[in-house]
Amino acid sequence: MKRLILILCLLATPILAVEPHEMLGDPILEARAQVLDTQLRCVKCQSEALASSNAAWAADARVLLRQLLTDGYSDQEVRDFFVVRYGEYVLMEPQKGGSNALLWYAGPIMLLLGCGIGWGFLRRRNAVSSTSAKPGDLSDEEKTRLAEIMND
């Protein structure tokens, strides 16, 4: 039972692709590097963060990232460095400003627009149904024709 629990614990933990030779000696810089590894995307794998990618490009990017940190770059400067070279796609979470604003706010805008159209449709339908004749109401011609049919 203990072995099963140990195996499940090992499987439940995230597996990082960072090799020991890539790690920095300074724990503070290494902690910053690990955070940046999760914020930057591997352009080769396209769906994995640098931290979990085993691609050669990701390994080179992790080494470069750590070199930039040891050179004194701030976290934002490192992100900007990668964005300039590979575009905003390299960010795991795209920026919310600029041209991406349309993508970030399109969902809520469409929801509000849909609710407005639905509300207007229901309001117009209720207004039309209250002014028109009820479905059970018959015209005078229909009443006389019905009376003739019933008397036959």
Domains of the chain in sequence order = 10-95 (1.10.8.640)
Instruction: Name the burial class of residue 29, with classes exposed (0-12), middle (13-18) and buried (19+) by CB atoms within 10 angstroms of its CB.
Output: middle
- Please give the pLDDT value at position 49: 80
75-131 residue pLDDT tens: 888 888 888 888 887 887 777 767 777 777 888 899 999 999 999 888 888 777 666
Residues whose CB is less than 8 angstroms from the CB of residue 79 and which lie 6 or more positions away in sequence, other chains included: 36, 39, 40, 91
- Please give the pLDDT value at position 15: 47
DSSP 91: B
For the cut 50, the answer to whether the pLDDT of residue 13 exceeds it is no
Percent of the chain with pLDDT over 90: 7
- Please give the pLDDT value at position 103: 76
* Averaged pLDDT of the chain: 77
Task: Report H helices in 71-100.
Answer: 75-86
Residue 78 token pair? 């490192």
What's the pTM? 0.53
33-48 residue pLDDT tens: 888 888 888 878 777 8
- Please give the pLDDT value at position 14: 46
For the cut 50, the answer to whether the pLDDT of residue 65 exceeds it is yes
* Sign, Cα dihedral of 102, 106, 108, 113: positive
Q: What is the mean pLDDT of residues 126-149?
A: 76
| Closest CA relative to residue 47, chosen from 101, 13, 14, 90 | 90
Residue 148 token pair? 């003739």
